[in-house]
Amino acid sequence: MGKSGAPTRIRLFLILVAVIAVRPILAQTPDAAEKKLAGAEGLLARRQYDLARQEFGEFLRAFPGSPQTTRALYGKALCAYQAGNLAAATAELEPLTADRDFVRRDELLAVLATAQLSAGDPEKSLATSAVLLKDHPTSPQIESAMVNRAQALYRLGRYGDSLAETAAFSKAYPDSPHRAAALYVAALDQRAMAHDALATALLQEIAAKYPNAPFIYEVRIMIGETLAGQGKFDDAITYLTRLRDDVPASRRPVVDFALGTVLSRSGRYEQAQQTFAALIAAYKDSPYAPQAQLQQAVAQIKSGHHKEARQALAAVARDHPELAPSATYWTARCDLLEGGFAQAKATLIQLAALKPAPPDTPEILFDLAYAELMTGQDAAALQRLEAFRTAYPYSSHAGEALYYQATALQHLGEFAKSTALCDQLTAHPESPLARSAAILKAENLLMQKSYPEADTLLTTLQSTAIDPSEKLRLTFRRAQCAYFSADYPTAEARLAPWAKAASKDPLQSEVVFLLADAGYPGYAAMALATDKLIAANPAAVKAFVEASAAGWKAYLHGDPKPADALILKDNPDDVKKLKQILKTDLAVICRRQKCC
C-alpha cells in the first residue's frame, strides 16, 4: 500500500528572463508612432502594467500595419506576463514566434517558455526552449532557458534528463548567476530518485555558497526533509526545530508543516498531531492550515485511530474541496487497512479516473493494484503494477510493486516468471523486501517440484528467521519439501513443532496453507455452483454447504473412520501419510473460519 502523505509543495523557482524590451528606444527623429510606442514601453519599465497594456493596445489601433507591430504586440503580451496573467501572455506570445525577423525573438521565446512552465505546461515549455536553443545558440537568454528547461523535465518526471541538463549547464556556465538555481533543480532530481544523501549535499552547498538565493528558505527546509529521507530522523527534527527560530514569521507555517510531516514519518504520531494542531491554531489563514488538517488525519491513520481519522477526513473534504481527492484517498487507505478491499477498490477506481489527475495519483494507482490483488484479480493487478513501474520508476513503491507482481504471477501459476522477479529483489539484500522475495522464490520452487533447491533455500531462511510466524511458515514449507520428496520420516519430524504450535492457538497462528498449494489435487478446497443453480434452488445449495460443514466437523472432532475408508478407496497411494497432514491443516483452517 502507498505510504505517501505529504502534500505537494511548490518548490520550483522560475528563472526570470533578462527582459530588455521594457526600455523605450527612441529613433533619432521620433515620429508620432515611435513616441507612442516608447511611452508604452516607459510605463512597462516603471511596472505600470495595466496602463502600459492599454497604451500598447491604443498604438495597435492607431497605427495598423506599422513595421513595429510585433514589437507592440510583444510589449502588450509582456505586460500580461509581468502582471501574472499567464493565459493571456502565452496566447499572445505564441503567434509572435513566427516572426523570425523580430530582433528580440530570443527574448520572446525565453519569456514564452517561462510563461508556459509557470502555467503548468512543461511539454510546451520544452518545445519552446528547443526552438530558442536551435535558432539563437549565442543568445544571452540561453542560460536561463537551460535552467528552466531542466525544471520542465523535472515536472514531467524525467529526473535523469533534468539532472543531465543541470550538469551540462554547470559545465558550460560555471560562473553563471543562475548556478544556485541549477543546483537546486539538481537537488530536486536527486530527491525524486530517492538519492537523499546526494540531494542533501547539493542543498548544503547552496546554503553555504548562496545564502541570499531567493529560494534559500525552501532549500533549508528541504535539507531537513532529505535528512529524514536518509532515516536520520533525530537530525532532521533537531534541524527543523532550530530552523523555525531562524526564519521570518511568514515562513514558520512551512517549517512547522515540514516538521510535523517528519515526525509522522518517524512514527512519532502524537507529536506530529500536536505540531499540526499548533500550526492550525496559530496560522489558521495560512494555506498550510488545511494541509495540516489533512496530515493530522494521516497521522491518526498511521497510529491506528481510524474512526477519528475518518471523521477528520470528512471535515477536510467538506471544508476544503481542493483537498477532497486526497481526503477520499486516505479514506480508501483506511478501508484497505481494515480489510475492506472491495470498497477501497471502488473508491480508488473513481479517483484514478479524475481529470486533472489528483496529486496522490501514484499512490492511488499503486493501492488500486494492491486492492485488485487482495480481491483475487491477479491478472488485472499484474497489468496495473507493470504500468505503475513503467510510469513511476523512481517511486518509493517500485520495490513493493515488483514484489506484488511476483505474488500475482505465483497466483496465476507463472512460477518461473515470479522467481525471475524475486531474483531482482534478492539481488539487493539491503532491501526490506529481499527476505520476503526469497521466501516467495522458495515457494515457487516448491510449486515447480524443485524440492531439493527449495529445501536448501528454506533452510537458509529458517536459520536467520526471527519472527515466530515466519519460522512456523518456513517449518511447514520444509515439511512439504520432505513429504513430496517421499521422505516421510523427515516430513513428520519437521511438521511436529509446527503442528504443536498451531494446535496451542491456531487462531493466533498466521501459518495456514492448503495442500493444494503444493500440488495435492484435493477436491475439498473448493465447491462451485452456477448462478443459475443458486437462483433456482437456493435451499439445496444451503443444505449442501451446511452438510459439508457438518461432515468436516464430524471428521475432525468425531469418528473419522467412515470418511477415511472412502478416502482410502479413492486415494490408495500414500494416503495414510497425507491424511494426517491434511487433517492438521484443515483443523486450523476450520477453526480460523469458525465453521466448526
Q: What is the pLDDT of residues 495-509, one digit of tens each?
A: 877 667 666 654 444
Same domain as 362, residue 441: yes
**What's 345's DSSP letter?**
H
Quick one: pLDDT at residue 501? Answer: 66
For residues 440 and 470, the answer to whether their CB atoms sit within 8 Å is no
The structural domain count of the chain equals: 3
* Euclidean distance between CA atoms 591 and 596, whole angstroms: 6
Say which residues have a Cβ less than 8 Å from residue 571's Cβ, sequence separation at least 6.
578
Cell numbers at residue 529, please? Answer: 455452483
Q: 231 falls in which pLDDT band (50, 70, 90)?
A: very high
Quick one: pLDDT at residue 8? Answer: 38
Residue 258 counted as domain residue: no
Same domain as 468, residue 444: no
Same domain as 440, residue 379: yes
Same domain as 350, residue 426: yes
Residue 414 counted as domain residue: yes
* Euclidean distance between CA atoms 372 and 419, whole angstroms: 21
What is the number of other CB atoms lying within 10 angstroms of the CB of residue 267? 12
158 has pLDDT over 70: yes
Quick one: pLDDT at residue 529? Answer: 78
Domain that holds residue 495: 464-513
Same domain as 395, residue 425: yes
Which of residues 448, 472, 502 is at a domain's end? 448
Rounded to the nearest 10 degrees, the angle between the axes of helix 575-592 and helix 488-504 is 20
Residue 115 counted as domain residue: no
* Euclidean distance between CA atoms 506 and 113, whole angstroms: 65
For residues 36 and 72, the answer to whether their CB atoms sit within 8 Å is no
What is the mean pLDDT of the segment spanning 74-99? 94
Amino acid identity for residue 104 in this structure: R
Same domain as 477, residue 431: no
How many Cα neighbours within 13 Å face the side chain of 196? 15
Percentage of the chain lying above the pLDDT 70 cut: 85
Residue 496 counted as domain residue: yes
The pLDDT tens digits for 39-72 are 999 999 999 999 999 999 999 999 999 999 999 9
Quick one: pLDDT at residue 24? Answer: 46
Same domain as 430, residue 391: yes
Same domain as 351, residue 391: yes
Cell numbers at residue 58, please? Answer: 491604443
Amino acid identity for residue 112 in this structure: L
Distances (CA, A) of 194 to 189, 231, 234, 423: 9, 12, 19, 22
For residues 407 and 440, the answer to whether their CB atoms sit within 8 Å is yes
The pLDDT tens digits for 292-310 are 999 999 999 999 999 999 9
Cell numbers at residue 550, please? Answer: 457438518
Residue 368 counted as domain residue: yes
The pLDDT tens digits for 428-448 are 888 889 999 999 999 999 999
* Euclidean distance between CA atoms 200 and 14, whole angstroms: 21
Q: 592 falls in which pLDDT band (50, 70, 90)?
A: very low
Same domain as 429, residue 348: yes
Same domain as 443, residue 349: yes
Same domain as 560, residue 508: no
Same domain as 438, residue 345: yes
For residues 176 and 206, the answer to whether their CB atoms sit within 8 Å is no
Residue 328 counted as domain residue: no
Task: Assign residue 444 the CATH number of its domain.
Answer: 1.25.40.10
For residues 451 and 484, the answer to whether their CB atoms sit within 8 Å is yes
Quick one: pLDDT at residue 573? Answer: 57
514 has pLDDT over 90: no
Worst-scoring range by mean pLDDT, 25-34, 280-289, 313-322? 25-34
Residue 308 counted as domain residue: no
Residue 64 counted as domain residue: no
Amino acid identity for residue 473 in this structure: R
Per DSSP, the chain holds a count of helices (H) and strands (E) of 30, 0
Quick one: pLDDT at residue 504? Answer: 62
Beta strand segments in 409-561, E: none
366 has pLDDT over 90: yes
Q: Which residue from 235, 239, 148, 231 is spatially nearest to 196, judged by alpha carbons?
A: 231
